Amino acid sequence: MSNILENEPAQPTGSAVAHMSDASSMSAAAVQVQRLTFVQRLRGDLGFLPVLLTLLVIGAYFQVTSPDHIFLNPRNLSNIVLEIATIGTLALGVVPVLLLGEIDLSLASVSTFCASVMAVLAERKGVPAGLALVAGILSGTVVGLINGFFIAVLRVPSFIVTLAGFIAYAGLVLKVLEPNTTLIVRSQFINGLAGNYLPDTLGIGLPTAALVLYVGSLLLNYFTRRQAGLRTVTIIQLLVQIVIAVAVVEGAVSLFESYQGVPESGAILIGLILIMWLMLTKTGFGRHIYAVGGNAEAARRTGINVTGVRLTVFALSSTLAAIGGILATSRETAVASQIPSTLLLDAIAAAVIGGVSLFGGRGSAWAVILGALIIGSLENGLALLGGSQATQEIVEGSVLLFAVTVDAFVRRANTRSGR
């Protein structure tokens, strides 16, 4: 390994001037790459730190200013999680789309459309709730395939296709719900999705099982890499990683348990994020999504089915939108033909605030949690303070602008240093 660490042995043969300038830039590069500076790591695997810090600042601020300091108590935090389940699920659908460097503006309409399909089937057509739920989710997949067909196969810009979709699917919602504009959902199964809490055995057992698997895979990875003679993290870094993971998971679980338990919708969101994260980072398909977002032409030349990747991603995104819409319906126990006006931008904002680049190829599924928590905390906290809708929207807009500015800045810094 040590020979790989050495930087390029520079022995330029050209003119003296070229030699000098090049050699100095080489040694500068050598210093830079041998040990990643903190700033570089902030752009890389520690990219979430500023967002986390922002979240902590927001939390501390509302804790201090909210009446009776209730912001950080378990009940309020449980409420925030219930509130962000829909935004989070939609934002999770936005992630792979943004990774491709595309956009999906139809998500809010699609989520309401799919929820109304489910509600109409369950409430008016007498279809069993479980079946109606599956039909609602599948209708999302179909809508996504239609969007994806225009975008991936016909190469119409996704902005236009999904903007058209945004309008058209909103119209479809009215059509589906006719003659009413609101449909009350009475099915206990559907309404229970968002309102219920997991029993303690599951609420504690599932996260702990996931944690054990995670720690196990970390250790397995560490030892197989050592065996293969590859560079590994130090044992201390490994331990820190494990301790942080245990602290975060068990901390969150005990927080929920000290109120009513882990909310089902929160568990669904985390489960979906986990699946998305595994898919994006551990499978070839996930890697191809990043590749297409980074350089579609290069991906195509290596034989990746770029059209297929795009089509699948849009289908996936709309499917997640459908799940988000169903969670919202469950929480409100009704579907209204009115598409929530801030839902779409909140979802995109959550992904972007969490660090998913609007320019494609950069970001993680976990971005959704941080982004949605920031948006949820702002809404919840400002409401606790009795702030008006106006203040709420201004603050939220500013935070989004800030996040996108940071994204653009990071991107420019990367290109400026020839990267």
Partner 1 sequence: MADSVPPSMDEPLFSQSDQLSMMDEGVSPSMGTFAQPEQAQYEEPRLKLRGISKYFGAVRALSTVDFEVFAGEVVGLVGDNGAGKSTLIKTIAGVYHADEGEIFMDGQPVHISSPVAATRLGIETVYQDLALCDNLDVVANLYLGREKRIFPWVAPVLQETEMERRTLEVLSTLDVKIPSVRVPVASLSGGQRQSVAVAKTILRNARVVLLDEPTAALGVAQTRQVLNLIHRLREQGLAVVVISHNLHDVFEVVDRVIVLRLGRRVGSYLIKSTTPEQVIAAITGAQFGETAATNGFSAEA
- The span from the CA of 266 to the CA of 197, in Å, is 9
Alpha-carbon distances, residue 93 vs 221, 238, 316, 407 (angstroms)? 29, 31, 7, 19
Instruction: Draw the binding track, 382-411, toward partner 1 (x: CB under 8 A; -: no contact).
Output: ------------------------------
Query: Which residues are paired to 111 by β-bridges?
Result: none
Question: Should residue 412 be labelled a site residue for partner 1 when binding is judged by CB under 8 A?
Answer: no
Contact pick of 9, 67, 126, 386 for partner 1 (by CB under 8 A): 9
- The span from the CA of 387 to the CA of 67, in Å, is 13
- The span from the CA of 104 to the CA of 343, in Å, is 13
Contact pick of 37, 181, 283, 391 for partner 1 (by CB under 8 A): 283
Q: Which of residues 315-374 bind partner 1 (CB under 8 A)?
A: 361-362
Alpha-carbon distances, residue 395 vs 172, 243, 329 (angstroms)? 33, 35, 27
Spatial contact of 373 and 273, defined as CB atoms under 8 Å apart:
no
For the chain, the distance separating the N- and C-terminal CA atoms, rounded to the nearest angstrom, is: 24
Question: Should residue 38 be labelled a site residue for partner 1 when binding is judged by CB under 8 A?
Answer: no
Question: Should residue 11 be labelled a site residue for partner 1 when binding is judged by CB under 8 A?
Answer: yes
Q: Which stretch binds partner 1 (CB under 8 A): 27-35, 194-202, 247-255, 315-323?
A: 27-35
- DSSP label at residue 197: B
Question: Should residue 299 be labelled a site residue for partner 1 when binding is judged by CB under 8 A?
Answer: yes
Residue 291 or residue 370: which is nearer to partner 1 going by CB?
291
Which residues are CB-contacts of 344 (< 8 A; sequence separation ≥ 6)? 90, 105, 107, 108, 166
Q: Which stretch binds partner 1 (CB under 8 A): 31-39, 126-134, 190-198, 313-321?
A: 31-39
Residue 40 or residue 63: which is nearer to partner 1 going by CB?
40
Spatial contact of 51 and 353, defined as CB atoms under 8 Å apart:
yes
Q: Helix or strand or coil: residue 10?
A: coil
Q: Total residues at the site for partner 1 (CB under 8 A)?
A: 55
Question: Should residue 19 be labelled a site residue for partner 1 when binding is judged by CB under 8 A?
Answer: yes
Contact pick of 154, 234, 236, 297 for partner 1 (by CB under 8 A): 297
Question: Should residue 210 be labelled a site residue for partner 1 when binding is judged by CB under 8 A?
Answer: no
Question: Should residue 2 be labelled a site residue for partner 1 when binding is judged by CB under 8 A?
Answer: no
Question: Should residue 298 be labelled a site residue for partner 1 when binding is judged by CB under 8 A?
Answer: yes
Contact pick of 75, 175, 186, 282 for partner 1 (by CB under 8 A): 282
Residue 186 or residue 301: which is nearer to partner 1 going by CB?
301
Residue 39 or residue 70: which is nearer to partner 1 going by CB?
39
Alpha-carbon distances, residue 217 vs 194, 213, 214, 337 (angstroms)? 31, 6, 5, 46
Residue 174 or residue 238: which is nearer to partner 1 going by CB?
238
The values of phi and psi at residue 152, to 5°, are -85, -40
Residue type at 133?
L
Residue ranges in contact with partner 1 by CB under 8 A: 1, 3-14, 18-19, 22-23, 25-26, 29, 33-34, 36, 40, 44, 221, 224-225, 228-231, 282-285, 287-288, 290-291, 293-295, 297-299, 301-304, 361-362, 414, 418-419
